[in-house]
Every structure is written in C-alpha cells, then in structure tokens.
Structure 1
C-alpha cells in the first residue's frame, strides 16, 4: 500500500517578489513534500517512490494515463483469449535498460514471477494473485495465463508495483534504479533533492526536458517562498492550502485543483475491543463532523465521503448521509454497545496535516460523546512498522491514494483487521466481471456494505492542489495514480 504524501501545515507567509531567475527552459525544478525511503517501486509502500520513478524511470507492460485510462507501455499490443484467461503481449523491440542490457520477454517473466513469488516483498502482491503462469514465447512475446478471468488485470499491470525490472539490477534498484524509462537517475542528495536526466537511448518518444530536479521541501512556508522566488517552478501537490488563493490571483502561476484517488480515513483495529463492535464503529463515525475536519485541516479543499470510493468514479455513491454528524445518536449507539460512559483509547497520527490537525479536531469531537482519545504522533517509519505492518494501534488517520483499491478491505493481512465474508465475495465477483454495468452494480453494493459495517470512519477525498509556472505545459491536473509523469512536460515557447 502506498501511503499519501505529507500535507504539513505552516504559518501563512507574506507573498514575496519573484527575484530569482528561472532555470533553463529544458530544465525543471519540482517541489515535493516527502522524501522517498528508496527508489524501488516493487519493494516499498510509500507513495513518494512512485511520485519520482513512475513513467519517468520505470515502465510496466501497461501504464495509467492522466485520465485514469489504461495505455500501452512496454507492451505495444495484446490479445485476450475468448475465455478471458490468457493474455498474449507483444513487446516493443529495441528497448534497453539504463545500464545497456536488453529488455525482452524473459525480463517480463522474471518481474512477474518475482512479484508473486513466495519470497516477494512487493507491497501490492495481491495485484498478481490471479496469475497462474507466465511464459516467454519468444524474445518479444509473453503469454500470461490467469487462474480465472480478471476484469482488472490490465489495470493491475499498470501500477508502479508492476513495473518491469532486470534480474541483473533488481537487487540494487532501491539506491540505483535501473529502468527502461525516458529519464534515468543522475543524483540523490539525501534530505535535499533527487535529480533525473533525459535518457538519450530511450526506445520511445524522447522527453522534452533535459533534466528534472525533485526538491524536498516539507515545510509549507518554505514551499510558498520557493515558488514565489522561482527556486521551484512547480509544486504538483502544494502543501500550503492557506496560500492557494493568493497564487490564484497571481498571473505568473497556474493553479489547478484536480482530483485524486486519496480516500482519507480514520482506521480502526476491527479485531481489538471495543472496535470489534460495529455499533462502536458506527458511533465514532456519527461523532465526526466531516465539514469541520475539512475546513480545519484542508481550508475547505476536499470532498466528504461516506464509503471508500472516489467521487469522480462512475460507480460512486454519495453515502455521507448514512453516517451524518449526530452526537446524540452516537451516544445512543455507544450505550447500546455497552459503553454508555465512553472509554479511553489511542489515536496514532503520522506526519501529514490531514492526520495531525485532523486528529486533534476528531479527538475533540469524540470527547463530546465520552471517548477520550490520547493522541500519539508517530513518524512515517514508525507508522509503517507499528500500524501498517504489526497492527499495533487502536485508531489512526491516513490517506490511501492507490487507484482502484477497494479490495484492501478484503485482505486478511491488512491493518484494518476487517473480516467480512460477504464483502470478500463481492470483491471476487468484481474481479471476475468485465461487463461495465454489472461492475458498477457490484461496486455500489460493496460501498453500501462498507458504509454499514464502518471498518473505518470515512472522512474525505484528497484534492490534487497543483501550482506551477504559467508557462509549463503537460503536468497532470488529476491524480489517477501516484505519479509526477514528466514524459510530456515542456516549457511553452
């Protein structure tokens, strides 16, 4: 699971004049909030990894486009058998990895078998669960046989976790990423910046940019100052919501408010009392005033959600009314669950503003119904170890930005500890269904079930708040996947 980047708060700063000169028009400096732990998307859960390497350094058989559609990548085409269980991919010829080694069908077989193997460390191993066998037919042909039809298979192969790596370099990709993409790593100054440069031997359409620098700026005030001074020309996800209006009034900048796949939730440990009681979980959901949380953490940027599904999806149902804010009803549910006097619990909060500030607001709201939530701030490494890996927590707040990730609630090993046979069955049906209207019907049934069981308190959908120089073209408006895809980015003439 890739976890959303930090949205840290800072005190609003006065706008400063842009005094620094811009970089060369073939170079671009982008601001990012979180530094990735490493640069191997097949061996890590952090969204910050894909935000650097997806489509830039590494490529998969398919890829996600800016509108969320599945596009060809290393596979120039594919066919599907009549029973929907066998995909035959034709690969592009003349493709080389950055170290000069040749890409072919054996690399695809190696990558897919590695990702789904018993010793796999892939954070999204479930993406490959439907695969039965992978066969290298010839150097440019790969045949993938599935255990059963999967309506999401091509989409799954487009995730960052499914990129193709070479056996010669797979073990060292964390620090020295070797992909097939239009950019390659030049330098990583830990704690400061990551620089990628144009791959002169790229097999496809070459990038326009010669160099891109991802500058790590965790402080919102510093992010604002860097943009205004010209030290940074683009912040694809700008962290200082309180200054967005000022940038909107400045003609030097383009402000683009898009959508993301980021469902922000307050997770609860469903196997730990009292959260194993559905009425307790429902009471907590009714005790939360989403609008207050959004206003207090996001300056109004964000869409309330009542289940785990993005509002821009055609199958989305607005279920916010199912757990509308009602403190008195929440108290009633607590009493019915045997907790009329409330209880004490803990709330572990990772660094992002939506978590830290949102947690303070929600703790105050829970106090109103008798729940005393002790706030425990944790760093990302602690969160990944304590909450995500070892499930050592009561409640937590985090944004899930993976695309098409409703199925995480069907995973036995996931940190929510939610176990619902009816929900798992719905996910199986969705995965095996290719018919559009039927998939929508099943998706909506799944949303309703989650809204009733409330394995997490569903809060809001993260916006994509992009700010960049008005002369820059090609950056994504929306965030259908965690990526800063620079393949089509250029400076306007």
Structure 2
C-alpha cells in the first residue's frame, strides 16, 4: 500500500513538473505586449491643436488623436475618420464621408457635428492652433448629416488635404477639448493613462478601437523622457527602454554594431537644420552679409562635427525627400575668400560680432560650436547663448523675435511657406517669394505646383534669409525583436498601432 501511495505521489509530482514546464514554455513563447519608448524632449502639453512643439505629436498623433485623413509611413495621404471625399471641379468644395460607429475614449460619438466643431475651433478668431493659417482659406464648415461634412473654401487651397493630416488638425471631442492639454481624449488605438511629469507618459490599448483592419498588439506603452545622450545609450543597453526612434548621440551609433539584442536604423526625415537670422536687424538686413555668412560655412565640416557625419547638405529650405527638390548647395558654396570680400563690400571689412541663441539640444549646441570656428576665419565673432527649449526659445525667438541668429531643426514637412508667413520669426519679406507660394495653393495639379515649389526654393537659396545647413537623418536604435516602427519619418511621429514583438 505504501508503495502504491508513493507511486501516485511520484506521478503527481511528475505531472506538476510537466505542467509547470509547459506553462513556462508557453509564457516564454508568448510575444510581449508592453513597450517602453524613449524620447529626448518631453512635451509641455499633450494637445497638438494648441501648441507647436513636435514632441506633442510624437506622443499623441495616431496614438491618441486621429484626423479626417492621415499620412502613412510612405508620406501618402490616406483616409482615416473620413472614409472618402470628393472635391468639386473648381476646388472650392470638399465633401467628406465620415465613418460611423466611431467613439472617443470617453464615449462621445464622432459625428459630422463634432468634426465641424473641431475645425471651427481651430480656425476661430481666438484660436491658438499652431497652424491656424491652414484654415484661412475656409469659408464655411457644414454638417450636412451625421456622416457628411462639407468644407467650402474662399479660394483654392491645393494643400488642404495634406494639412488636414497634420497633428494640429486632429479631430477633438466637444466634451473633452478643453482638457486635452493634460488629459487627452481622442479616437485612436491607445488611451491616455497618466503623465508623470519629468519622467513618462503612459498609454494603454483602446479595446473599443473602431479600425478593425488594424490588430493592435501592444497592451501598454510608456514614453520615457531622457534628454542626456549618454543616459539614452545606458537605458537602451540596460533594457530600461526598448527603442529610441530618434537617438540623440550619433557618435555612439557605432557602439551598437554587432550587438546581439539591439539594431540601428538610419532613415529619412524632414528635419531641416537652419540658422535663422533676424532679417529686420542689422547687419542681417543686408543680403550681402547673409550671402557672405553662407559662403563662410563648410556644410560638410558642420555635419561631421555636429552629427558625426550623419546628414545631407541643403541649399534651401527643402529636403531631397520632397517632391520637386532642387539641389541648390552650389549657389553659395564654401568659399572663405569670397565671403571676406563680400563682407568688405557690405561695409564690414573687419567683420562684426553677434549672438546666436542656441537651443539646449545636442545637435544645436554642436552645430553652433562648429559655425563659431568657421565664422571666426572670416573675421566674424559669434557669441553662443545657450537657450532652454522649448519654453525660453519660443518666448525669445519664435514669439518675441528678440534675437540676432538662432538655430533649430524645422520638422514640419513641406514647410517652405514659413518664409511667407507674417509674422514669423525670420522677419523676412520678399513679394516674389510670397507670390510663388500663393501660386502653389492656387494651382490644382501637382506638376504645376512643383514648378512654383522649385521657384520658391531658388529664391530662398539666393536671398539666404536663413543659413541652410543640413537635413538630419532619423537615427534609431531598438530591440531587434520589435517590428513595425517607422524607419523613415515623413512627419514627426511615433506611430504604434502596428508595432509588435516577434517573441
């Protein structure tokens, strides 16, 4: 009997061991559903419809908030909350068919009335939308019925659909709009959980997400904010973060070569690094001075010193990724001798001194240091004033326009039109440029638009309202098992709906 009991006990122990092994094996085989993603800059708020910094959209766009249309990983405009649209032959009426059965995270229904209220809010007289100008051509917005939205324009706006895909144009709920800065509520695949300021933003999967064509694999997402490049690297190596889609230490990229767990990716972006000048302030109000400074800068040396050789020189406010790109780096190539001669012609034979307000971001600080050395060779003294970004920079430069020169990476795609905005921090005025940009919007076909985009590029390359330096690539480092992250960046973002773990 004792032997029989002992045999049963042994069988039970063996069965338990096998069950534990099976459970362990199953757990090991199940792909992860959590993600910790790193970002260099923490956004000051979480509502992209009331503030411009790209970090807001990098957390919320396509994760929490969605628009009538969207931009995919290839830079193409795709339907989103609007399933389709029709444009009248004269280009003045856009009729959108909206999806039914869509709700916001708080239960509010998405309808044409809600979409109308969202667009009217963005274009209102008291609107603080960072791209309010997008809606200047809108005459009326009508909710024809619950699933039909009609936008009527005062004049053609060839880029309207593209603009409607941007973070600043996302559709917000009428009930939640006022609180989106701190507790964002959208229609997207992830729901806001909490924001531990100075550290992280946490999201969770939206179980009621309307788009059944997308199978969202991630259950939880944590955005970690780590500004120091060395700390970014350490967080990746330790596994505290799984991915840094915009890694801030180009000099450390090679340190991941051969890593068994981590991979590096170099992709395209719209990040145009330019040193903007206050064109209304002496000596930058003199075109010859601006041209001379452009010739004093060796863009290849700047890219090597500022971003470890990662980058593409540009000669205008345009990237090689964009349609109708013209390589204008040869308009004012590096030529210190000609730069000194042109400065003398402009009345500065002994150079001059000025201050550059450089945002406290690694690329800006490093670029400023290389520029300082190059300008010294032509007798120009550049004093570097580190400036906290975004708050102080926005206050002094972007809004106050109280500066000589600054440096920043302009991240908005196809944003060459910023030089025709009034006011804008460059304080640049050129009627010929304004006309070219206006003709882009008034031209319905892409080929016709491209002609004016090229004309606009050439005007800027000759006039040099800013020193056009280089396009920053997207330097990504992430776990090899992680799939679905965007390698290129046609618009600043961290789109996570299609991201998943392979094991």
Normalised by the size of structure 2, how large is the TM-score?
0.92
Show CA shifts across 1:305-346 (max 9, x none).
000001112311111111111111111111111111211111
Separation (CA, whole Å) in 2 of partners of 1:117 and 1:413: 18
Separation (CA, whole Å) in 2 of partners of 1:33 and 1:346: 26
Residue of structure 1 equivalent to 2:157: 150
Residue of structure 1 equivalent to 2:320: 311
Give the alignment of 1:276-287 within 5 angstroms. 276-287=285-296
Separation (CA, whole Å) in 1 of partners of 2:248 and 2:369: 19
Of the candidates 224, 247, 262, which is equivalent to residue 215 of structure 1?
A: 224
Separation (CA, whole Å) in 1 of partners of 2:272 and 2:145: 42
SS in 1 for 2:115: helix
Residue of structure 2 equivalent to 1:188: 195
1:435 shift after superposition: 1.7
Give the alignment of 1:41-440 within 5 angstroms. 41-205=48-212, 206-380=215-389, 381-440=391-450
Separation (CA, whole Å) in 2 of partners of 1:23 and 1:428: 55
Contact 1:22 1:230 in 2 (8 A): no
SS in 2 for 1:166: coil
Show CA shifts across 1:454-491 (max 9, x none).
00000000100111111111100111111100011111
Question: Which blocks of at least 5 consecutive residues in structure 2 are unaligned?
Answer: 1-27
Residue of structure 1 equivalent to 2:21: none
Separation (CA, whole Å) in 1 of partners of 2:417 and 2:85: 26
Separation (CA, whole Å) in 1 of partners of 2:29 and 2:183: 29
Normalised by the size of structure 1, how large is the TM-score?
0.94
SS in 1 for 2:374: helix
Contact 1:22 1:233 in 2 (8 A): no
1:217 shift after superposition: 1.0
1:253 shift after superposition: 2.1
Runs of at least 4 residues off by over 6 Å = 21-24
SS in 2 for 1:321: coil
Contact 2:104 2:110 in 1 (8 A): yes
**1:487 pairs with 2:497:** yes
SS in 1 for 2:407: strand
Separation (CA, whole Å) in 2 of partners of 1:365 and 1:326: 11
1:372 shift after superposition: 1.3
Residue of structure 2 equivalent to 1:37: 44
1:24 shift after superposition: 6.8
Describe the shift of the 1:66–1:197 C-alpha distance in structure 2 as closer, same or farther (beyond 3 A): same
Q: Could you tell which deviates more after superposition, 165-174 or 37-46?
A: 165-174
SS in 2 for 1:66: coil
Residue of structure 2 equivalent to 1:9: none
Tell me the matched-pair count: 473
Residue of structure 2 equivalent to 1:8: none
Residue of structure 1 equivalent to 2:13: none
Separation (CA, whole Å) in 2 of partners of 1:198 and 1:99: 14
Contact 1:344 1:372 in 2 (8 A): yes
Separation (CA, whole Å) in 2 of partners of 1:22 and 1:344: 64
Rg larger in 1 or in 2?
A: 2
Contact 2:245 2:477 in 1 (8 A): yes
Contact 2:413 2:491 in 1 (8 A): yes
SS in 1 for 2:172: coil
Show CA shifts across 1:222-261 (max 9, x none).
1111111111111111111112112232242232110101
Separation (CA, whole Å) in 2 of partners of 1:385 and 1:23: 49
1:22 shift after superposition: 13
Residue of structure 2 equivalent to 1:3: none
Separation (CA, whole Å) in 1 of partners of 2:471 and 2:324: 15
1:202 shift after superposition: 1.1
Contact 1:22 1:231 in 2 (8 A): no
SS in 2 for 1:89: strand
Separation (CA, whole Å) in 2 of partners of 1:358 and 1:22: 46
Separation (CA, whole Å) in 2 of partners of 1:359 and 1:65: 34
SS in 1 for 2:300: helix
Show CA shifts across 1:265-290 (max 9, x none).
00000011111100010011111111
Contact 1:98 1:180 in 2 (8 A): yes
